[in-house]
Amino acid sequence: MKVEIQMPRIKSKFAETAVIAALTALTAVTTMLVRVPIPATNGYFNIGDVFIILAGLWLGPRAGFIAGAFGSAIADAIGFPVYIPATFIVKGFEGWITGIIARNSASNSLVRPVTAALVGGFCMVAGYYLFEAFIYPLLGRQIPMFNITDPGAAFIALLPNAIQGLSGIVGGLALWKAMTAGSQNLDTSDNQSLSGKHG
């Protein structure tokens, strides 16, 4: 008998708003929780990507974008405001692309969610490199505030960003898997139709 597992579906529009708001706030909190400054780029390493990946995998591209863009930008406002524009775009895109790829993955195969998380993490690393190596130096010519990084510094930041992306992928997938397992247990033990399709 084939068992298909799905994440808990949120039917109420208000419940969806509440969960997206909670994931956005949690993204901001976890981004602020562990911050390791990277002097070369004036940026920092964090573990906030865990909830961005989770939001994309669980609730789709819109939730992934909101959690990534707003949650991370709020965290940047506390201590590193110059990175708000880059973070809004890069992290928002990370959540959106994760959600787009993982959307409608109804089977119990892990290939699609893992691919989605990997692409999301890669987009984050590539996006920050793009901003730190090219866009910020270019903007810095007109607005001195953005003159904080250069291609060399962006190259140095690739390793911490890659570790950050990897921790986000692993953590996000682990949380998503834990929630999937939880919903499967709920379904089989209590015979509730919160999640899962048996066929």
Partner 1 sequence: MNAFELPAFLKLQHLRPWWLKIAVLMLIGYPLFSNRPAAFIGAAMGQHLPETLGPMLAWPLITFFVWACCLPSLGTAKLLDYLAAAYAMAITTVVSGAVLRLALPAIFPADTADNFRLLRVYFNILAVFPYSLTFLNSFSVSNLMNRLTRTRGRFREAGLHLALALRICQHVGEVIPKMLLVWREENPDLLLPRCRDDWYGISPLVKWPMWFVRSISQWIFACIILTFEPIPVMVNEIEQIDESRDSDAPDKV
The correct pick among 5, 8, 47, 186 for binding partner 1 (CB under 8 A) is: 47
**C-alpha of 19 from chain center:** 15
Nearest-approach distance from CB 38 to partner 1, in angstroms: 6
What does each C-alpha distance from 11 to 15, 17, 45, 105, 177 come to in angstroms?
7, 11, 36, 18, 21
Cβ of 83: how many Cβ atoms within 10 Å? 26
185 binds partner 1 (CB under 8 A): no
81 binds partner 1 (CB under 8 A): yes
Segment holding 43, helix H or strand E: strand 43-45
Please tell me the distance from the alpha carbon of residue 87 to that of residue 185, in angstroms, as a whole number: 37
151 binds partner 1 (CB under 8 A): no
3 binds partner 1 (CB under 8 A): no
Nearest-approach distance from CB 37 to partner 1, in angstroms: 4
29 binds partner 1 (CB under 8 A): yes
Nearest-approach distance from CB 77 to partner 1, in angstroms: 7
Beta bridge partners of 38: 43
Cβ of 189: how many Cβ atoms within 10 Å? 8
The correct pick among 15, 106, 138, 181 for binding partner 1 (CB under 8 A) is: 15
Which amino acid would we find at residue 84? I
The correct pick among 3, 37, 151, 185 for binding partner 1 (CB under 8 A) is: 37
CB-side neighbour CA atoms (13 Å) of 9: 14
Q: List the x/- string, 110-149, binding to partner 1 by CB under 8 A.
A: -----------------------------------x----
DSSP three-state, residue 196 = coil
Nearest-approach distance from CB 2 to partner 1, in angstroms: 30
32 binds partner 1 (CB under 8 A): yes
β-pairing, 197-198 vs 43-45, is: unpaired
- Point out which residues bind partner 1 (CB under 8 A): 12-15, 17-22, 24-26, 29-30, 32-40, 42, 44, 47, 50, 74, 77-81, 145, 156, 159-160, 171, 175
